[in-house]
Each structure stands twice: as C-alpha cells, then as structure tokens.
Structure 1
Amino acid sequence: MNKDYQWIEFYETLADKLLEYKDKRKELHTIMIELSQDYPLLNYLHFERDDWWETKNYEIDPFTIMGAFNRGITDKNRIKIANIFAETFDINVPVPNDFAGIPVLFNMSSIFGDNGSILWDLFIEAMKYSKTNVGTDRFKEGFEAAVAAPWNGLGTITMGLYWIRPNYFINLDSTNMSYIQTQFNIAVPDKNVTGEGYIQLLNEIKAKIPDLTFPEISRLAWEDTLRIRGENKYSPGLSVENWQCLLNDQAVFNTQSLEIMKRLKDYGGKATCTQLSNVYGETINFYNRGASALAQRIHKATQCKVYEEDGTKRWWRILFTGSIASKEDEGFFYWELRNELKEALNSVDLTEVKLYALDSIVDYSNEKYDKLDFLKEVYLSEEAYDTLEALLINKKNIILQGAPGVGKTFAAKRLAWSMMGEKDDSRIEMIQFHQNYSYEDFIMGYKPKENGFELQDGIFVNFCRKASASPDQDYFFIIDEINRGNMSKVFGELLMLIENDYRGKEITLPYTKDSFSVPENLYIIGMMNTADRSLAMIDYALRRRFSFYEMEPSFDSEGFQAYQATLNNETFNKLIEYTKSLNLEISADPTLGKGFCIGHSYFTGQEECTDSWMELIVTYDILPMLKEYWFDEEDKVNSWVSNFKGVLNAKT
C-alpha cells in the first residue's frame, strides 16, 4: 500500500471494532468515560458534566470517537490517541504516523450533534453500503437526519463517513468541493443536498474520475490548497523603510493611491473591491485599476520581484496577499495589506487624504443626532422610543423582532445614534449571523497566514477592546439575524459575560490565557425576522440574556401618515389601505399570524410617488411574499393579486 494511504487500514479497522458495539452502546459509553478519566487528551468530552451529554439514554456515537484523533491537535497527540484506541479495542494493524490530507474537526466543535441514535443509524447503514454499494432508503434518510441535526451539517457528516470508509465516501468540505468543481467540472451540491443527491455525486465522481480513489482525490485537493498557500509566500522584498520612502514619493503614491490605502487600512487592512466601493464610494474598477497601476509604478521605482502565474504578471501581489472571499461577503477576492506596508502606513500622516468619495461624506459625518431625529425617521411613538432606550440601558442587550419590512435594521442603527448623540459609525459594529458562524469568527481562532496559521481575535473581542479603551463613550454591537446563530457555540465562555450583572468581570481566554471582560459601555442590539419559517424555537440562552421588543407595521403612526401626506397620491393611499387589510387577514390566519405582516418600510424613502415605483413594490416585494405564505391557496393569492393590480391599473 502507498505510504500516503497507510492510515486507511487503521481507520477502517477501528470502524469495524466500533460496529461490534451497535447492540452494546452503553458498554461503549462506559469505556469512553473511563478513557476520558484516565487520559487528559480525552477530557474535552466532559463526561463529568450531566448537562453536556445528558443522562437520558444517551450513548456516545462512533463518529465522535473517530473525531477524537481527527481534530485540530498536533500529530503527536493524534498518534497518542490512536494508540490508546488500538490498545482499548484490540486493533492489530499499524497506527498511522502521518495524517496529511485527512480532514479534521474544529476543536470548538469536536462532538457530533444529536442524542446518538441518528448517528448510530447512519453509521450502521454506511457500513452496509460499503459492502453492497447500494444506497438504501434507510441510508439516505439517516444521512439527511444526521446532516440536519444541530452542530453537524454537510461537511461534518461527510467527514465522518470518509473516516470510517474512505474508499466509499468522500468528504464534502470546501477544499474538496472547490477542487472537484474546478479540476473535473463536476457540479457540487449545496449544504441542503439530499441522501439521494449525495449517492448520485459519489457515482458521478467514480464515473468521471475512474483512475482516482476518493482518498487520492482528497489528498490532491489538500496538496492543491498547499500549493495555493505557497503562492502567498511570494514577497516583493520591500522593507518597512522602503515602503515609507515610496509613500512619501508623490510620483509613486499619487492621490488616488493614497485614498485606496487609507480606505483599506480603515476597513481593517483586508477587504474586497466591492466592499471598499460600497462603503467608501467610487467604482470597483477605481480600486482594481488603481492598485494595478500603483504596483507597476512601485516595480519601476524599485525593480522589486513580480509574482507571475502562467506567464501573467500579478501586479496586485506587490501590495497585498490574497484569498477567495467567503460566500457571505460581498465580492470575490480579498486584498490584505502586506505587513511591511501596513506598518509603514501607520507611520505616515494620512489626515489630509480623503476617506470617502464626495457622494458618501454626508452619510459618515459625525453630525448631531438625538431622540427627535430618531422620531422623525423611525415611525415609532415617543413612548415606544422611551421604552426601547430604557430596556437597552437596563438589560444592555435587546432584540428587535418583527415582520419583514418593519424597519428593524433601520431602527437599530438610529437607536444607537440617538443614544450617542451623534452619527458616529466608528462606535458601531454591524454583522449578520448565519448557521455556520463560529466561535473562531466571533471570539478567537486560528486563521491562515502566509507562513501557516496565526491566532487572531474575532470581531466581538476586537470591538470589546475598542469600547474598553473609551469607557466614557457608548458602543453598539448590532447583530442581524441573531437567531440564526448558535449562541452557545458562537459566544462560548463569553456568553455569561454579556449579561448586565457580569459586565466588567474578567475571565481567562482559553487560547491566550489573557484576562478579558465585556465592558459596561457596550450595548448589543439584535434583529430577528419572525416570518422566517426555517428557524427553530429561540435558544433559551438567547431568550434569558436579552429583552425582546416587538416591532409592528406602523402605517397608522403619526410619522408615516405625515410622510404619506407629503406624497399626496391617491393610488398610494389606496395601496396602503389594501396592505392594511391584507395584514388583518394575515394576522387572522392561524398558520401565519402578525409576525408575517407586511411592514411599512417597503413603502418609505421616496420624495415623489411614481407609478413605476409602486408597481415595483407590488410586483417584486408584496406578491412574492403572498405566494410563499399561501403557496397551497392559489385562489386566495389570485384574489389579492387582482386587488393590488386593480389599484395600480385604476384610472384616477
């Protein structure tokens, strides 16, 4: 056997041994408890905590056991754990000493989700599949149930399947999926792939790539990733002092160049051109072409090395390192300032360099903003504002929940401004949670760098430290779609510290052993869409640490009625009346309720009311929602389509 794949025999043998416990699960559970007590490397399983595993008929699953030596620990410790299992389960094949290319779990997510039964069912069916190559209904159903269980997901479950039978299953992590798609032109599924879809993908890969096994494909994908990372080791060879001289040379760094540098530095040193364009103004090409032209001037002035790929000069690499942007971010490719350039920029006075394009200055100026300004823009009563402010001051954490279009995000930022007394966006951080948002993103984790990995603070820790440095000023952390994240997983040990009573109290961060606290001058505002059918019941950890404020459509508020009067349009008035009637029907529908009503913000933000604008709202905002709400009541949808179209087509 090729030495690169000697690990397969051990992994498959361990899986065979674990299968022997399919009818002796409590015995296996007891064995793992004893191992965790005897070996510190397995203490992370936390069997001593009843709240971790629960006592109600829970047995540890095979995938979590396999994951014990397939997580983010050193190879030395992985070998130690593998030896422990070899001795415990009487495995007589060699323990692997090389784990190159084998996918691993994140340390903070090293335990598979579910109460064990779903995972055991999948494990048993997967082992049967390896003997028959037949994807039974039981396997497909088990696959879908395991993927859907909390804390799992497609990447985690397929990783577990790959461990137990590497020649029969392929792991669908981002590395493999990108490689399969780009190298072999095979369409990869999204995270909602069915069991049938996964089996079809396995068959398609085997048919289109008959000369490679799944372990070989996975290894090649891993090596390709290393190659790409190796490209990032390129350096133009310019020192901090070199960059300082260049920054002071107007023939090299012209006004446009300095604007690009200042904006990227202000954004945190890493951004896509799309992000820079959206925040600071100018077109995407302004940044692309400007950076390329700057790099060429630097090369001409210094004769520095230029990175080439397939005979093409990659000029931007003189200035930045790069990486593919995540699906959640705007744009396709990140630029990150080279360390030497970043340090040089810190020593140069950029005060006179324009941060925002002219058409963006107004949005980011620190003009005064108070309660009256809030009430003019946000269609809430003064009493509602006072309640919101009091809740946030008292609890420190609040969630604005409501139907689509009630202006939750709009209100959140303006609530922060009004409590600050000015529009100071430097004291506001806004993010959006999603199901894969992690502790590493939010608190702290290892991130890829040019020469490997580096421990970096997450966005919340950075913002807390920023707030701690200015205790006399209020700071606001705004989280959109807050109920999409797993709060316990994302906040980790910091979850307790966001409570009002624990503000300012220090704990020790696990990675760095540094003391850390959430400051008293930091307020958290979350937003939650009550019409999202895909979300489960609210996490209790979220419920008890936040006050919840229900935002409703405000068509009858003084502010909206004043706005409506300024438009002075009879068609618009009828449109609002029909929408209010529609909301009454939605509220009365037992399958929907007021959380699914149509919000007022769909109809705001106009100085002049035109027929084309109203038609866009109805056609592309209102009617698609109704078709989703009443997907099985075509007559009801058609009736409301007729009502709204009748308003738009009426002669006035």
Structure 2
Amino acid sequence: MIDLEKLQTILKEYKRDFEQRWPAERYKWEAVYCFQTNWDFMARDFEEMFIAATAQTKDLLTSVNYYPRGVMRGFAAVNRDATRAMFSRLYDEKKDLTERVEQFQEAAEQIRREYGEGIWKQHYQKLNAISIYLWLRYPDTYYIYDYSECRVVAKELGSSFIPRRGAHAGNLIGAYALYDEICDVVGADLELQQLFHSQLQDKCWPDKKARTLTIDFCRYISRVYSKKGIGRSDSDWLPIDYSPELTVADWLDLLQDDAVFTESSLEVMRRLLDYGGMATCRQLSNKYGEPRNFYNFCSVALAKRVAEKTDCNVLNTDDEEAKWWPILYMGKRDEKDHEGGYIWKLRPELEEALQQTDLSRVSLYAYVSVLKGPHAAWWFSVNPVIWSFSSLDVGETLSFSLYNENGNKRRIFDHFLEARSGDFLICYEAIPVRKIVAIGKIVKESDGENLYLEKIEGLVHPVDFHTLENIPELKEMEYFANPQGNLFKLSRNEYTCIMDLIREENPVDHKRIIKPYTRDDFIREVYMTRGHFDTLISLLKHKQNIILQGAPGVGKTYTAKRIAYAMMREQDDSRIEFVHFHENYTYEDFVAGYKPQGAGYELQYGIFYRFCQRAANMPNKSFFFIIDDINRGNVGQIFGELMLLVEKAYRGTLITLSCNGMPFSVPKNIYIIGMMSMADTVPIRDYVLRRRFGFFELIPEFDSDGFRAYERHFDSDTFHALIERVKDLNKEIAEDPHLGRGYRIGHGYFCGQTEYSEEWLMEIVDYEIMPLLSEYWPDDPEKVRHWGNVLRSVFYD
C-alpha cells in the first residue's frame, strides 16, 4: 500500500511542471514507437535491426559509464543466433519472469566470456537494462526499473516495499507491483490525461495504459520532487542559520553576467541541475566527465565572484573553502558514502533562477564541445587512398590545401574560409573505408592557401556510414545532400548526435584510482629472483616482444600481467589486452578483414588493430598485448604483413594493409608478450617470429625468497615435505630423455591459497599432478604409481 494522499500532492506538482518537462522527456514515448516500428525478431541482420529499434533510447541504454546497448550490439555481431535466443526467452510471456531475467543475464555472461574476454569487462545487462527491453517490447505491461529511483519513490510514498541490494529479480517483481498502484492513480487522472494528449505528437507511443506516463512520473518524484525538500525540514543540511540573502531576481541578473558565470561555471550548474539539483562531485564526474576537483574548484571560484559582485552575506568561518560554497549550495555528509563523501544541493533561489535560464548552449557532457557560431563543428571527408586521418599520430598537425591537384578551388570553398581556429572536425574517410575514424580540430584558420588541422583522437571503434544513415536526426546533414567535397557544416544537434554515437563505442576514459606497482611488488607476488626479474625487464625493453616459456604451473599468465604492471609502474588494466591463439584464429580476427554483414560483406577491424589505435591515442603511455598459447595459432597467417611492423626497428613505420589498401603502423609504445608451455607438443615453426621475439624461460621457483615466505606462512610440516618431494620429482623429470626441464612441475600449482588444509594439498596431488604424470609416462604405469605413493606418503607420516 502507498500513501495516496501524498501521491495526489505530488501529482499536482507534476501536472504543473508537465508542459515544461515534456520536450526533454518526450523521447521515452518516441523510443517505444521506434522500437515497435523497427523490431523484427526474424530479421536477417539482427545487429542492424537491434540498433535501429533502440535508436531513440538515448541515455536509457547508454551513458558515460553504462553501455548495455553497445555491448548487446557487440553480442549480436559475434553471435547473432545466441543473441536472438536471449531475447526470444526474455519475451516468452508464458514463462516465469524471474526465470527469464536470470536466464538473460546468464546468457549475456556466457557470450561475454566466450567471445569478449578482454574486450568487454562486463556485459552491463543489469535489471535496469532488462526492464527497458521488456518495456520497449510490451509497453502496456512493463515499467522501467531503476534501483535508486525505485527506493526514492517507495520512501516518498510510504510503500511497504523497499528494494534492497542483492534481491535482484525480487526487486523487479516488487517494483512492478508498486508501479501498478501508482499507475492506477495516474491513468485515472483526467486532467493529466488531457495534458498528455495535448502534447502527444507523431511517432510517439499513444500509451493507452499510462505505463510510460507512470515511468515519467516516478522519475519526476525521484529527480525533481525529492530534491525540492517539499514538506520536509532542511535541518540536516549545512550550514544552519546561514543564507547569502540573494533572491531569484538577483541570481537571474548574475546569470547574465559572463564575468561571474563563466562557461565552466555554467557547465557545473547545468550538470547539477540535470542531476536533480543535488549530487556529490564524484557523481557529477562519473556521469558528465571532468575530474572531481573540477567541480569543487569551479564552485568555490564562482562563489567568490558572486560575493565580490554582490557584496552578499558570507559565512563567518576560519575554513577558507567552507566559507564560499554555501553561497551556492547547502550540503551534508553522504550517509551511504558509495558515490562520494559530501552532497551539494542547489539553494532554492539559485535552482529556480537556473530553471528560468536557457542553458541549452552549455555543454552537458565534457566530451561534447559546444562551440560559438552558427554551427557546432565540421564534417571533414577525405579520400583515404590519397589522404588518411588514420595514418596520422595523435597531436600531429598538418596543412590541407584549399585547392585540388589541378589548382582549382575545392567544392564549397567558402566553408574553408569560414572555419575558425578551435572548431572541431568529425573526420570521415570515404570509399572504401566509409567510417568516421578520428576527431580533429582546426588549429589555424585559412591563410588563403591552406587550412591547418590537428588530430586529437583516433577512434578505436570507427563509426560506420550505414549507422549514420539510419539516424533520423542526421537525415538533413549537408554531406548527405551532396557528398562531393571535403568540408561540410554540422548543426549543433547533428554534432551532438554524432558524438553520442562515437562515445557509445569509444567511451571517455575517466581518470581512475590506479594503484602504484613496484619492483618489490613483482618479486613478492611472482616468486621470481631479483636477478631473473632484471634480466626479463631488460630483454623486454630491448626487443619489445618476448615469449614466456616454461613448465606447466610456473605462472606464465600471472607473470605476464605483472610484467606489464612493473613496466607501467602502476596497475592499469585499461592498457593491457589479452587474447588466446588457436588453430582457427585468423588475420581477420587479429588485424582486419571483410566479414558477412547483411546481404553483403563489410570491413571489420580486429582486436590488435583496435588496440594499436588505443595506444596511438596515448603515445606517452606503455601498452601491453598478451597472447596466450601463441604457438597454437598460424602465426605467419595471423600477423600477415604486421610481422614486419612488430619488430622494434620498424615500429611507427607505415605500410599498406592488404585487406583495405590503407596505411597502418604499430605504435612504438606497444609491448607484446606471448606465452607457451615448453611441454606443449606444438612448437613455434615460424623462424621469422623467433627472430623478432626474445625467449625467456620461467622455471619452478620453489627456492625463491617469495615462495619460501609463502611456505613459512602456513607453518605446515606436511606442506614442506610435499614441496621437497615435488622437487625430487622434478629432478627425475628433467633427467628423463623423453621429457626434460620444460616438463617439470611448477610452483603455481600451490599458489594463491589463503587458508591451509590437507584436503587442498590432496586435491592438487590427485587431480592435477597425477593426471599429468600419467601423460608423461603412459608406458610406465609402475613409475607413475611409485611417484603417487611418494607424494601421498606425506599425508600419512
């Protein structure tokens, strides 16, 4: 049950604000209409259909740190049938909802692990995303579920149901019951229905059951009403008994003063207002970009300018920072402390003034630059056979002639004269590439002969032309009307739309808390002697490509990642890529190639190509590409012409790719680490590869300082005795003419345990070491039995 009287009170506020909110919230009804129009479960190209059907979902399925739509698109690209089956089960209304939700998430994780390990850190198919898929498909039945939003709504309306962490699908069921109660009231309100239908436009879902209207109403409760402080005391907000004594009119005057409200200040204000009027610096940073200190610094600086301009009342305190921000906000400690330590809430007068001010020209997201002038940016199209943005380094500047090879003016010559320093460029490569490949900017205006450009970012995932063609907001683009030429105007909306598409696949790399990593950390974790470590690092620096080889269980994979940490001197997994070679791995998977797409074929870039693009965007940082079982792939075929480029002497050298005839280079800041077991029956036969890689053998390190400390930690005579017997076993394996050093038992079998138990040791002997010995000596069962008795005897001494 809910508080119906409170519900009616909020509903009055909602109806009062409805017309003002509608332009920003209409997209939800448009999203349902778009989905219903484009969804075709049996479409041959499921990926293309899914993107078209969800084209209007905007921030619902894509935001700065949340990418369910982009990952689902990737799933459809790598396994169309499995992705189709996911939605088939989810949309089967004959089955239990909880079961369907759990199966959907399990299937998403399975596809991620099978095809996207190292590409997708997570699948993002959380309850929120799944509820959106259900709502889009059955808009007269389901609602959008958001954990935080539902908690606020439930508390505001005094519901007996409050979602709780860990309840998962149970939260979904409870939320739907809560929303059904709310929907009954919303749908029966004739005044609201008239308001809604008066705003309804073509390509909007009619929403006869008022489910989407209920979703919007609940969002209003969470993001607007709950932040206003209506009907509650502000006694828990600080500072108490202080006010700058500025009216709404005062704030409106200040907002028109560019010397007070600078561009950065307005960005902070718009983002805080968009978030609902109160947020922590971390929440603003996570959603809109910029470091947390940006919001703190800008707020304090703005408050000082306001005080200087108005001579307003300032809080009397010795804390220099604490005396300024209360001019703009009230604040309190975040009780949950999971999104930042301190919450700011806009002062009511300032919030009302901001709501009355047109902030549409202010950048909401840090990655979308709002420029002055009649247009937001330029579409820059080039013939990649003659001139390519892909081949430029980030930060490289060059001149582009205003005249073609024949000395004639380029088409739409006036555009080159209108372009100004600082204008952004959407860099598009025409046939045969037909993709947006980079973002650039104009660094110097036309001098009558040339325009001067700079590449500021290469796209790891270029944006396909056919994707742009399906976006309604881009249908009037100047380039689409006549693609002949190089420089085309983009409206502000077109630029923002394209940047949204770019960021969906190329998200902003926000600054994260990255732990330092030292040489001592490596020695402590990897159980390698300091001498071996110094040799290993020296070899990698000298060759830039190494292969770690060794016996089973010496920790090659574990070591490879920590080599990268040690070289970077920090634990930054975003600069590490991991792949596994197998007999079916191809050049198309690794570099690029044409793959089936709809009725034809389309050029798609492989994992190493994309990794090189990422590394090129950060030339001052080291990147590490790790290849497991490098010997199990056809290395010459997989690398192709890149076999030359990975050699240190040829890093940064441009060659023409065979797949598309385009220039490409391997950046100098990439290190390649391959791994192979010396006990593997598949050797490396490509001697060209051997010449380009250094080979380093990892050996069992039972006598290293690190492993001995690990052994002493357990203080177990049984553990010590077993290790001594394994060392004896290794001597016999090394002396066997059919085996040798590469078949010894590695220390890794015994690592990673935090609590000691004899059952753990027994499992290692019976289920890991003994099966290995049976493979080593298949024709000598007596020897296998002997060593089984020797190893097991430690448990009975």
Distance across 2 between alignment mates of 1:586 and 1:387? 26
1:544 alignment partner in structure 2: 691
| 1:93-131 deviation digits (Å, cap 9, x = unpaired) | xxxxxxxxxxxxxxxxxxxxxxxxxxxxxxxxxxxxxxx
1:273 alignment partner in structure 2: 109
The reply to whether residue 287 of structure 1 matches residue 287 of structure 2 is: no
1:243 alignment partner in structure 2: 57
Using the size of structure 2 for normalisation, the TM-score is 0.43
1:292, distance to aligned residue in structure 2 (A): 4.1
1:575 alignment partner in structure 2: 722
SS class of match (2:625):
strand
1:538, distance to aligned residue in structure 2 (A): 3.3
Distance across 1 between alignment mates of 2:505 and 2:599? 30
SS class of match (1:401):
strand
SS class of match (2:737):
coil
1:536, distance to aligned residue in structure 2 (A): 3.9
Give the direction of change, closer, same or farther, for the CA distance of 1:474–1:440 in structure 2 (3 Å limit). same
The reply to whether residue 629 of structure 1 matches residue 776 of structure 2 is: yes
Task: Indicate which of 473, 476, 482 corresponds to 2:621.
Answer: 473
Distance across 2 between alignment mates of 1:349 and 1:537? 40
1:265, distance to aligned residue in structure 2 (A): 8.5
Letter in 1 for 2:706: G
Give the direction of change, closer, same or farther, for the CA distance of 1:275–1:239 in structure 2 (3 Å limit). closer
The reply to whether residue 455 of structure 1 matches residue 293 of structure 2 is: no
Structure 1 stretches lacking a partner, 5+ long: 1-226, 305-336, 356-363
1:640 alignment partner in structure 2: 787
Give the direction of change, closer, same or farther, for the CA distance of 1:237–1:547 in structure 2 (3 Å limit). closer
Task: Indicate which of 632, 655, 677 corresponds to 1:529.
Answer: 677
Distance across 1 between alignment mates of 2:608 and 2:768? 34
1:483–1:539 CA contact under 8 A, matched in 2: no
Which residues of 2 match residues 14-53 of structure 1 at below 5 A?
none
SS class of match (1:580):
helix
Once superposed, what is the RMSD of the aligned Cα atoms? Answer: 4.0
Distance across 1 between alignment mates of 2:643 and 2:505? 39
1:369, distance to aligned residue in structure 2 (A): 1.0
1:425 alignment partner in structure 2: 573
2:560–2:673 CA contact under 8 A, matched in 1: yes
2:644 alignment partner in structure 1: 496
Determine which structure has the larger helix proportion and give its number. 1
Give the direction of change, closer, same or farther, for the CA distance of 1:282–1:589 in structure 2 (3 Å limit). closer
2:628–2:675 CA contact under 8 A, matched in 1: yes
Worse-matched range after superposition: 344-353 or 376-385: 344-353
The reply to whether residue 614 of structure 1 matches residue 761 of structure 2 is: yes
Give the direction of change, closer, same or farther, for the CA distance of 1:267–1:424 in structure 2 (3 Å limit). farther
Letter in 2 for 1:612: E
Give the direction of change, closer, same or farther, for the CA distance of 1:266–1:436 in structure 2 (3 Å limit). closer
Which residues of 2 match residues 369-388 of structure 1 at below 5 A?
369-388=517-536
Task: Indicate which of 537, 542, 557 corresponds to 1:409.
Answer: 557
Give the direction of change, closer, same or farther, for the CA distance of 1:461–1:565 in structure 2 (3 Å limit). same
Task: Indicate which of 746, 752, 773 corresponds to 1:605.
Answer: 752
SS class of match (1:625):
helix
Give the direction of change, closer, same or farther, for the CA distance of 1:381–1:282 in structure 2 (3 Å limit). closer
Distance across 2 between alignment mates of 1:496 and 1:520? 13
Give the direction of change, closer, same or farther, for the CA distance of 1:354–1:425 in structure 2 (3 Å limit). closer
1:145 alignment partner in structure 2: none
Letter in 2 for 1:294: I
Which residues of 2 match residues 59-78 of structure 1 at below 5 A?
none
1:388, distance to aligned residue in structure 2 (A): 0.8
Letter in 2 for 1:549: F
Letter in 2 for 1:576: I
1:288, distance to aligned residue in structure 2 (A): 7.8
2:643–2:689 CA contact under 8 A, matched in 1: no
1:551, distance to aligned residue in structure 2 (A): 0.7
Give the direction of change, closer, same or farther, for the CA distance of 1:449–1:349 in structure 2 (3 Å limit). closer
SS class of match (2:137):
helix
Distance across 2 between alignment mates of 1:236 and 1:435? 33
2:578–2:627 CA contact under 8 A, matched in 1: yes
Letter in 2 for 1:460: F
1:344, distance to aligned residue in structure 2 (A): 8.4
2:516–2:570 CA contact under 8 A, matched in 1: yes
Letter in 2 for 1:274: Q
| 1:240-276 deviation digits (Å, cap 9, x = unpaired) | 4x222xx25xxxx699x94645776899996842365
SS class of match (2:770):
helix
Distance across 2 between alignment mates of 1:282 and 1:543? 32
| 1:49-71 deviation digits (Å, cap 9, x = unpaired) | xxxxxxxxxxxxxxxxxxxxxxx
| 1:279-321 deviation digits (Å, cap 9, x = unpaired) | 899999x9386654321212345888xxxxxxxxxxxxxxxxx
Letter in 2 for 1:243: T
Letter in 2 for 1:542: L
SS class of match (1:466):
helix
Which residues of 2 match residues 264-343 of structure 1 at below 5 A?
272-274=108-110, 276=112, 287=125, 291-301=129-139
Distance across 2 between alignment mates of 1:409 and 1:369? 18
SS class of match (2:125):
helix
2:62–2:68 CA contact under 8 A, matched in 1: no
Give the direction of change, closer, same or farther, for the CA distance of 1:258–1:549 in structure 2 (3 Å limit). closer
SS class of match (2:624):
strand
Task: Indicate which of 723, 737, 740 corresponds to 1:590.
Answer: 737
Identity fraction in percent: 41
SS class of match (1:504):
coil
2:62–2:70 CA contact under 8 A, matched in 1: no
Distance across 2 between alignment mates of 1:236 and 1:539? 42
Letter in 2 for 1:583: N
Task: Indicate which of 587, 604, 609 corresponds to 1:439.
Answer: 587
Letter in 2 for 1:614: L
1:243–1:344 CA contact under 8 A, matched in 2: no
Distance across 1 between alignment mates of 2:735 and 2:137? 69
Letter in 2 for 1:547: G
1:273–1:288 CA contact under 8 A, matched in 2: no
1:395 alignment partner in structure 2: 543
SS class of match (1:456):
strand
1:232–1:450 CA contact under 8 A, matched in 2: no
Distance across 2 between alignment mates of 1:616 and 1:637? 17
Give the direction of change, closer, same or farther, for the CA distance of 1:290–1:636 in structure 2 (3 Å limit). farther
Larger radius of gyration: 2
Letter in 1 for 2:656: T
The reply to whether residue 518 of structure 1 matches residue 666 of structure 2 is: yes
1:264–1:270 CA contact under 8 A, matched in 2: no
1:260–1:287 CA contact under 8 A, matched in 2: yes
